[in-house]
Amino acid sequence: GYSYGGLAAVAAGVGAADTFGRVIAMSASLWVDQRAVIARFERARTLPLRLWIDVGSREPDAEDLIPYMVGDARDLRDVALGRGMVFGRDVGFDEALGEGHDMSAAGRRMRAALLFSLGDRDLSRERPTELSITRYPAHGRRARDRLSRRRRAEGAPAHRRAPRHDHRARHGEVARALP
């Protein structure tokens, strides 16, 4: 689920893990009711099989040092890991730099969320032990110029682009690690 749907997905995964065993919490509104769903996750007898959490670094307000939605997503991740879920096998996490709380941002992260949540591949043995998978979106002219300079320095053509159908080239670490 996305936003309030992400909140509902986490609540369903905690309340009925045998029915809702795979949870996607994209930009989840975990702040509702003083973060009650995180407290429920901490106390739950059964947990979902797989939990995908993602959030954009600009949700909802980039002026805070750490926006509350980012902090809440990190806290849910930490509670899941504290309950014995394994990062990369049971828990996936994506904090997308520069992304806001909108459907187009969620759409860019959807492929990785679905591949992780619906797949059975254990990434815990294939990935570094970092607790966050972060993408650096290349938007705008300055980002393209930096990329062109880097490619020229590496001896590659300055304006080489990844094929449009190759999502792995555009979506970073998670997509490269998943089939």
Kindly give, in sequence order, each residue whose CB lies less than 8 Å from that of residue 107, ignoring residues fewer than 6 positions away: none
pLDDT > 70 in the chain, percent: 67
The answer to whether the Cα torsion of 106, 123, 129, 24 is positive or negative is: positive
Instruction: Give yes or no for residue 134 having a pLDDT over 50.
Output: no
Instruction: Give yes or no for residue 107 having a pLDDT over 80.
Output: yes
C-alpha to C-alpha distances, 38 to 47, 56, 82, 95, nearest whole angstrom: 12, 19, 12, 18
SS3 of 19, please?
A: coil
Confidence of residue 149 (pLDDT cuts 50, 70, 90): low
Instruction: Give yes or no for residue 98 having a pLDDT over 70.
Output: yes
Mean pLDDT score, 114-132:
70
pLDDT of residue 166: 37
Mean pLDDT score, 125-143:
45
Instruction: Give yes or no for residue 55 having a pLDDT over 70.
Output: yes
Instruction: Give yes or no for residue 152 having a pLDDT over 90.
Output: no
CA-to-CA distance for 150 and 109, rounded, in angstroms? Answer: 25
Instruction: Give yes or no for residue 163 having a pLDDT over 60.
Output: no
Q: Which one, of 17, 5, 57, 10, lies nearest residue 36 by Cα?
A: 10
pLDDT of residue 58: 84
Instruction: Give yes or no for residue 176 having a pLDDT over 90.
Output: no
Confidence of residue 26 (pLDDT cuts 50, 70, 90): very high
With beta carbons less than 8 A apart as the criterion, state whether 28 and 1 touch.
Answer: yes
